[in-house]
């Protein structure tokens, strides 16, 4: 395919790269150890247009297409912190698209616009202690009571959960149906009955906060219902596509960086009389790894092209063919990336096992890709179903 990028994309890409390299990367180790980073990072990202670039102007965006988001996700890997990158991508690409798609003018003004400016931090509340990839199994409920809904339940694995100003929350509104009885609500975190049950400790992505949230007789006004009641599962399936696609794009950027750092390390590190990168075995290994990354990159861009065409050109819903393509992309990039990161760590030898080297952190962080946003096994189930198998 011809390059999807124009001059304005390149300028935006450079802005994100400079932000990641100069304002984020110098603090990556500090924030990793602190298991947190300043909220000011969200506001600064908002000032630079990182969240708003691919949203319509009338909704607080800058009017760009989806390729702005792809470029952003690739360049944020230069922050050297997958945790920070993930938190920012949740803000701009996972918790907010459904608000742009469904929100009323009042909801756009109250929630979306300040989120795109980085003034309000947002989380996406879908996973539960007993319902992860099987979204139809969620048990958090919303019961109608006059002009309000009363919500009870819990959410877990929520990125930005400990510091969010509001949550884009999926709950059950019809207990007599399966997945089609779900609805989305916009819930401010200062709502009575909203509680951060605990901050969760993770294997990787330490710089981002992850929480378990609890809701106890939480009263939410009807005006915070997002879209139509009981249509939340359909909305989520559309929203999931950008979450999965942007995760793949970000991962590809991370794999390129890991290989680049490994090759640089191999030029300095000598074993048995010469730099280890001069060993034919490792030269061939990196050729194979780079070839696989290029294949993953091509598949990601093909999926992004289809997504951009349907959402930004035709301005319609995502087709099942594109859903299938994005699911295949997540399967391939996740499996391929596991090999890439593992081999880059192996190339470092004992040094790769030490936290002082970025590859050690990348190894832990990358493991999430095959789980978050739908496990690899779930993706295979979806694709098999779409293929009529």
Numbers of helices and strands, H then E, in the chain = 13, 10
Q: Name the DSSP letter for residue 52.
A: T
Return d(Cα 355, Cα 376) in angstroms, integer: 28
Contact 125, 139 (CB under 8 A): no
Catalytic residue among 110, 212, 243, 310: 243
Contact 261, 358 (CB under 8 A): yes
Give the contacts of 274 (CB within 8 A, at least 6 positions apart): none
Q: Name the DSSP letter for residue 134.
A: -
Task: Tell me, yes or no, if 32 is annotated catalytic.
Answer: no
CA dihedral 345, 347, 352, 357 (to 10 degrees): -90
Q: State both tokens at 4.
A: 């999807």
Q: What is the full DSSP assignment across 296-324?
A: HHHHHHHHHHHHHIIIIIS--PPPHHHHH
CB-CB neighbours of 292 under 10 Å: 18
As annotated, the active-site residues are: 243
């Amino acid at each position: 395919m011809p390059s999807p990028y124009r001059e304005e994309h390149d300028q935006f890409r450079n802005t994100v790269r400079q932000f990641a390299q100069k304002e984020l990367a110098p603090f990556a180790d500090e924030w990793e150890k602190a298991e947190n980073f300043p909220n000011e990072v969200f506001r600064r990202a908002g000032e630079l247009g990182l969240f708003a670039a691919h949203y319509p102007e009338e909704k607080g965006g800058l009017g760009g297409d989806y390729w702005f988001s792809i470029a952003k996700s690739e360049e944020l890997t230069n922050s050297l912190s997958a945790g920070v990158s993930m938190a920012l991508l949740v803000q701009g690409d996972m918790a907010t698209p459904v608000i742009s798609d469904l929100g009323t003018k009042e909801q756009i003004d109250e929630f979306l616009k300040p989120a795109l400016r980085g003034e309000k931090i947002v989380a996406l509340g879908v996973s539960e202690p007993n319902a992860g990839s099987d979204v139809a199994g969620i048990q958090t409920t919303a019961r109608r009571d006059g002009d309000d809904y009363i919500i009870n339940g819990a959410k877990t694995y929520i990125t930005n959960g400990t510091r969010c100003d509001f949550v884009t929350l999926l709950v059950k509104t019809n207990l007599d149906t399966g997945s089609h009885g779900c609805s989305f609500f916009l819930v401010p975190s200062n709502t009575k009955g909203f509680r951060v049950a605990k901050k969760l400790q993770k294997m990787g992505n330490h710089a981002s906060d992850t929480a378990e949230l609890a809701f106890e007789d939480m009263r939410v006004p009807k005006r915070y219902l997002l879209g139509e009641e009981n249509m939340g599962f359909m909305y989520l399936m559309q929203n999931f596509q950008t979450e999965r696609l942007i995760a793949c794009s970000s991962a590809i950027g991370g794999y390129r960086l890991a290989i680049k750092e490994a090759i640089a390390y191999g030029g300095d590190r000598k074993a048995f009389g010469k730099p280890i990168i001069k060993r034919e075995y490792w030269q061939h290994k990196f050729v194979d790894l780079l070839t696989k990354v290029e294949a993953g990159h091509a598949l990601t861009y093909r999926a992004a092209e289809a997504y951009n065409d349907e959402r930004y050109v035709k301005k319609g819903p995502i087709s099942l063919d594109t859903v299938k393509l994005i699911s295949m992309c997540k399967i391939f990039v996740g499996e391929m990336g596991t090999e890439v990161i593992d081999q880059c760590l192996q190339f470092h030898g004992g040094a790769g096992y030490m936290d002082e080297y970025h590859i050690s952190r990348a190894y832990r962080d990358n493991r999430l890709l095959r789980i978050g946003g739908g496990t690899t096994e779930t993706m295979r189930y979806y694709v098999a179903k779409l293929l009529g198998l």
